[in-house]
Amino acid sequence: MTTTDAVSESRLFEPTRLGELALPNRLVMAPMTRNRAGADGVPQEIMATYYAQRASAGLIVAEAATPNAVGLTYPNIPAIHRPEHVAGWRRVTDAVRDAGGRMFLQLQHGGRIGHPDNSGLTPIAPSPVALPDPVHTPSGFQDPVVPREMTRDEIRSTVADFAAAARNAVEAGFEGVEVHSANGYLLHQFLAKGTNHRTDAYGGTVAGRIRFTLEVVRAVAEAIGPERVGVRISPGLTVNGIEEGDTEAIYPPLVAALAELGLAYLHVVYADPDNPLFREIRAVWPGTLVANPILSREAVAEGGGRREGEALLAAGADLIAMGRPFLANPDLVTRLRTGAALNPVRDRYLMYAGGETGYTDYPALADLPAVPDVPALPALSDLSALPALSASE
């Protein structure tokens, strides 16, 4: 058996299903912020090119789109709460579908991660606890502002905005949506003790802190059907200043409550197959589990994350979500299947700003210049075929 044969037989490349959706492989392109929408949140034509280039993924989860104006995080982030947003995303989903792909859209409210210079509004959050880091704005990084504590009416209206955004996503041609309850954004802020100091029904106890996420997901599932809804969580992740405080206590009941809704999938960020909490989540979650492996630069350079993905499949995951490998390799599935070298991510700045450079200009294998043919050497038994050397040579 050749190395290529061994690679191609990996479970990563098996066809599978996500509910009624047929997937050609188990690789998911993870949602990644790319900041290429217009200032009004409308997806641009270049975004259609970018995602269509990566349509060989089993499933694409498009970058986070905001469900309302106050939920905007950074400049040039797409949205999904106005008709022009729907029309812009429709161009993207049409391009991906024409290329043979399938897409979900991630719905993300920034909560305290935002700035008036980005949205024109003061950010809102479960409690008035400011982000500890500067915020990117059109004029550069600025100090964060203290968010307003959400009122009960604002909680209800935000839940309704998520449901409306999900309906808009389906109208825009997405197969479904992923509710973002991870990475320090609004729903995660409700889960975490460090950002949720409320004493009402949305704070304090585990049941109180998971309530907002459950209400959002239920509303989205009722709006478009639970089979079209995934949820992303990041247990223990401290990005964006998050301090959960009781990670092991909060996620099993959250996952158990989500499991009752019959959702399409649960997406676990930075999943570790040796982590007892990951194993507990797998035991509690009865449906499709999407796992995002922890990938060092060395791991990506050496194998593109294939080994880490296979380890998670062996630990019970059903689909494997990858971010940066897909960012730099539009044909990642082919490269992993054949063991071909991967393009490295060239410039961190270009991940979050710019145009084609660092976005749609990463080459696929088919775009690379062909290696010129080298004439075969004669067999040792036919040395007479070699040209005679002159005295000067």
Task: Give me 104's structure tokens.
Answer: 């979900």
The Cα–Cα gap between 210 and 217 comes to 11
The Cα–Cα gap between 245 and 188 comes to 12
Alpha carbon separation from 382 to 88, 378, 386 (Å, rounded): 66, 6, 8
185 is known as an active-site residue:
yes
Q: Which H or E element spans position 307?
A: helix 306-314
First-to-final CA distance of the chain? 44
Phi, psi of 354 (to 5 degrees): 110, -165
DSSP notation for 254-281: HHHHHHTT--SEEEEEEE-TT-HHHHHH
**Residue 135 contacts residue 141 (beta carbons within 8 Å):** yes
Task: Give me 112's structure tokens.
Answer: 């305290």
**Residue 204 contacts residue 133 (beta carbons within 8 Å):** no
Annotated catalytic residue within 185, 202, 270, 362: 185
> Which has the closest alpha carbon to 101: 162, 23, 159?
23
The sign of the dihedral angle between the CA atoms of 295, 251, 66, 25 is positive
The Cα–Cα gap between 362 and 359 comes to 7
Phi, psi of 208 (to 5 degrees): -70, -45
Number of other CB atoms surrounding residue 121 within 10 Å = 15
For the chain, state the CA radius of gyration.
Answer: 23
Question: Which active-site residues does the annotation give?
Answer: 185
